[in-house]
Structure 1
Amino acid sequence: MKRRRDNRISAEKNQMYFATDPNAKHDEHVVDYHVDNVDLKFTTDAGVFSKMRVDYGSGVLIKTMKEVDFPKNNILDVGTGYGPIGLFAAKFWPDKKVDMVDVNERGLKLAKQNAKVNHIKNVNIYSSDCYAQVDNDKKFGLILTNPPIRAGKKVVNEILMGANEHLVSGGVLLVVIQKKQGEPSACKNMTDTYGNCEILTRDKGYYILKSTKN
């Protein structure tokens, strides 16, 4: 009975957006998203995060990040999924290179497709388990993330605290997270790591947290 339950749990995880190779049956949709004067079109699919629409929290982060000052270095989007956050960053800052990483191969394929459809070339989209495949010699002025809450606190904390090793001095980490999904503990962990954590935005339970590397 336990083996059957374990197999069921394993099968369910393989359907989830944090799986490397989700086996959910394909169910593609096209989503249009507009911020100020930028309109982007995204193809989504089953097995990726927020397949029917750009997640509300991601939208809050996209709108907030435009107003943030950061060192004029490269940008990194951790947990990019099909790419809305990273691709908007690439449109907002066309003179910067945006690295977009995820473990979800289906999401990465869509992100590459969406970059091509939207004529965005200043991106580098590749597989990485958190920062494992990110070049240690490459430092970023801005790291963005809507962390995969369902992957568990260990993964979320690895993203939030691990960013410290990949930011330049004065570099900024921006995180969107709901209060009910761990915003207080995320803010504490960011304060412990960076010595600071500022709440930039509150919107329908979503918080945008900002930490700056000293």
Structure 2
Amino acid sequence: MAHQYFEDNQDLDHDYKIIDFNWQGQTLHLKTDAGVFSRDNVDFGSRTLLETFLNNTADDFDQLLDLGCGYGAMGLALAIAYPKAQIDMVDVSQRALALAENNAQANQITNTAIFFSDVYSEVKKKDYDHVLSNPPIRAGKEVVHGIISGAKDHLKLGGRLTIVIQKKQGAPSAKKKMAELYGNVTELDRKKGYWILQSYKQD
């Protein structure tokens, strides 16, 4: 059976490589490995989510959760963009988490906490300003919708969930789910079939 990047796949053979990600006038050197999502480059969806978030978010927030952080590209980029914020990064894959830790240290990024969590299972905080996710579509609709619904318990009042999802992989369904759960949803951007969706917690 093939291993999926959203599983804890510690027994897979290693195949390390270093990729460069240019962000905010800085080059992040990121170590990746076999069995992790988008190991050859930072994927278009994550880059679009980062750029859109940056263009629509003030820099005065305190805490952000990157759910499904993989080898750390998105969370570490956010840590650079918002140096006064605490960026928590979680994933179900121990391999991805080890890479994220390595990449934080290698790029001298210190305003992060990187830890294991199966979706929100080990997330204790209830007062995040933001939850961001590029959800693992291949894990199925139930997992994606669980990411959407579970965020509400970990956001402070007025806190925002922002996700990226392709139209052909369920963006309309995700948008409908966010509207039902939060009473609001905004399309921040659409680019090459990717939708950036955001809801805020109002009750």
Normalised to the residue count of structure 2, the TM-score between the two structures is 0.95
Any stretches of 5+ residues in structure 1 without a counterpart? 1-10
Report deviation, 1:95.
0.7
Structure 1 equivalent of residue 103 of structure 2:
114
Matched-pair contact (CA < 8 Å) for 1:23–1:47: no
2:90 alignment partner, SS class: strand
Q: Give the counterpart letter for 2:76 in structure 1.
A: L
Matched-pair contact (CA < 8 Å) for 2:126–2:153: no
CA distance in 1, matches of 2:150, 2:126: 14
The residue correspondences of 1:184-199 to structure 2 (distance < 5 A) are 184-199=172-187
2:165 alignment partner, SS class: strand
Runs of 4+ residues over 6 Å off in structure 1: none
1:103 to 69, 92, 105: 92
**1:90 and 2:79 equivalent?**
yes
Report deviation, 1:73.
2.6
Matched-pair contact (CA < 8 Å) for 1:35–1:63: no
Report deviation, 1:65.
1.2
The residue correspondences of 1:130-209 to structure 2 (distance < 5 A) are 130-135=119-124, 137-209=125-197
Any stretches of 5+ residues in structure 2 without a counterpart? none
**1:56 and 2:44 equivalent?**
yes
Q: For the aligned residues, what is the CA RMSD?
A: 1.3
1:66 alignment partner, SS class: helix
Report deviation, 1:38.
2.9
Structure 2 equivalent of residue 6 of structure 1:
none
2:83 alignment partner, SS class: coil
CA distance in 1, matches of 2:56, 2:156: 16
Normalised to the residue count of structure 1, the TM-score between the two structures is 0.90
Report deviation, 1:22.
4.3
Q: Compare CA radii of gyration and give the structure with the larger one.
A: 1
